[in-house]
Amino acid sequence: MERVPLERKVLSENDRIAASLGARFAAANILCLNLISSPGSGKTSLLERTLESFDRRERVAVLTGDIQTENDARRLARFGFPVRQITTGGTCHLDARMIERALLDWRLEDLDLLMIENVGNLVCPSSYDLGESAKIVVLSVTEGEDKPLKYPSIFHKSELLILNKIDLLPYVPFDVVAAEANARSIHRDMDIVRVSCQTREGMAEWLSWLDRKRKVSRAAAAAC
Amino acid sequence: MHEIGIANSVLDAVRAERRRFPARHIYKVGVRIGELAGVDPDAMSFCFEALVRGTELEPLALEIEFCARRYQCRSCGRSYAAPKEDLACPDCGVRDSQFLGGDELELAYLEVEDGTRATRA
Ligand SMILES: Nc1nc2c(ncn2[C@@H]2O[C@H](COP(=O)(O)OP(=O)(O)OP(=O)(O)O)[C@@H](O)[C@H]2O)c(=O)[nH]1
Ligand SMILES: [Mg+2]
Ligand SMILES: [Zn+2]
């Protein structure tokens, strides 16, 4: 038997498409964010709170992934920004080709922020890069503070942890400090923002994180 | 869940490689899966076997090398594999380590039936 070395990524085809998307986003000066969480942690709610805070002239668009239904796109479309639903028909994550297809007839030059809501799932989306500038993981306080340890991949790969539903803290036994320590034991430099999409507490901090990111991405574009 | 898609990607790679070894059977594919790859090795093996069964690829084994999270301490320089809850350096206890690896999802090698040496693509 002869052993032949291969040495390449299993998902090299997805990575290739993701890299080409990333290059197109960079060329069009777009900050692209990939939001990932379990079903129901509040990705769409966060996007609703975010879109409602924007001036209508902001060059912002959203892609939202679900296995079934157009519900999330409907919830998000009422803010007047371009929104497109990607229904995966069973697949538990978005992949780069789905993004490429969804963007076919969009003029990227008209955008500078693209937010992608991934399919509700804390595991699978972490394997598939979408050409994004950063992944963001949303964890809600009803899910338990051990989740970063149980699902380390997505915490390792996300730049920001949004700890959502903090309005429920009085009613659930959730140790915020332990949750954050668990996240940082996987990803030492992770940014963490505590929010409630219900009471809007913490929204200003999230929006300023987003603003900082947009400035950095604009500055990088201006430099090249 | 998505292990079926990952297993399929591995098989796509094996099928592509078969063209390099037209007269020789590929018996095994080696894959590296990091603790942070978000891929469950057992689910992956299960899907792999199910996908291979009854196809022209049989017999084809999957060998998974599971890779722990690895860090290097910025304070004392020691490299180590970290347990889940804590990435502090086991020697000096400092929590300031650089990430070395543990998120790999890679095709490592094939084991191919002996024959005349194939030309590299
Ligand atoms: N109390 C409370 N409820 C919230 C908060 N954020 C979201 N919810 C509720 O949680 C539920 C799920 O929120 P969604 O925004 O649909 O969650 P999602 O992550 O988009 O869900 P999927 O797209 O299905 O994965 C809804 O009933 C929201 O009203 C919050 O901060 N506090
Ligand atoms: Mg949603
Ligand atoms: Zn040390």
User: Could you say which residues of chain A have pLDDT below 70?
Assistant: 224
* Region of B107 on the Ramachandran plot (φ > 0 left; ψ -120 to 50 alpha; else beta): beta
Residue with tokens 């209508």: A56
B21-36 pLDDT tens trace: 888 999 999 999 999 9
Strand ranges across the sheet with A2-9? A2-9, B105-112, B26-34, B61-67
pLDDT at B117: 55
Instruction: Kindly state if the Cβ of A164 falls inside 6 Å of ligand 1.
Output: yes
Q: Do B31 and A10 touch (CB under 8 A)?
A: yes
pLDDT at B119: 52
Arithmetic mean of pLDDT, B35-46: 95
pLDDT at B23: 87
Q: Write the CATH number of the domain with boundaries B3-68+101-119.
A: 3.30.2320.50
Q: Which domain holds residue A85?
A: 3-218
Structural domain includes residue A223: no
User: For residue B116, what pLDDT band results from cuts at 50, 70 and 90?
Assistant: low
pLDDT at B121: 46
Q: Whose CA is nearest to atom 9 of ligand 1?
A: A42
Domain residue limits, chain B: 3-68+101-119
Over the Cα atoms of chain B, what is R_g?
Answer: 18
Pick the atom of ligand 1 nearest to A119's CA: 25
pLDDT at B1: 66
pLDDT at A1: 87
B77-109 pLDDT tens trace: 999 998 766 778 999 988 888 899 999 999 999
Instruction: Kindly state if the Cβ of A65 falls inside 6 Å of ligand 1.
Output: no
The closest CB to that of B6, out of A127, A153, A185, belongs to: A127
pLDDT at A220: 79
- The total number of structural domains that make up chain A: 1
Q: What does the alpha-carbon distance between residue B94 and residue B98 come to, in Å, rounded to a whole number?
A: 12
The answer to whether the CB of B70 falls within 8 A of the CB of B89 is: no
Return the percentage of chain B with pLDDT > 90, whole number.
75
Rounded to 5 degrees, φ, ψ at A142 are -85, 0
> Which chain B positions have a beta carbon within 8 Å of A96's beta carbon?
none
Instruction: Kindly state if the Cβ of A120 falls inside 6 Å of ligand 1.
Output: yes
Beta-carbon contacts of B32 under 8 Å, excluding residues fewer than 6 positions away, are B64, B65, B67, B104, B105, B106, B108
Q: Which CATH number do you get for residue A94?
A: 3.40.50.300
Structural domain includes residue A92: yes
Structural domain includes residue A161: yes
Q: What does the alpha-carbon distance between residue A95 and residue A127 come to, in Å, rounded to a whole number?
A: 9
8-state DSSP, A117: E
Rounded to 5 degrees, φ, ψ at A193 are -130, 130
Structural domain includes residue A22: yes
Structural domain includes residue A38: yes
Rounded to 5 degrees, φ, ψ at A190 are -60, 135
Neighbours of B18 (CB within 10 A): 16
Structural domain includes residue A224: no
How open is the CA angle A67-A72-A75, to the nearest 5 degrees?
Answer: 165
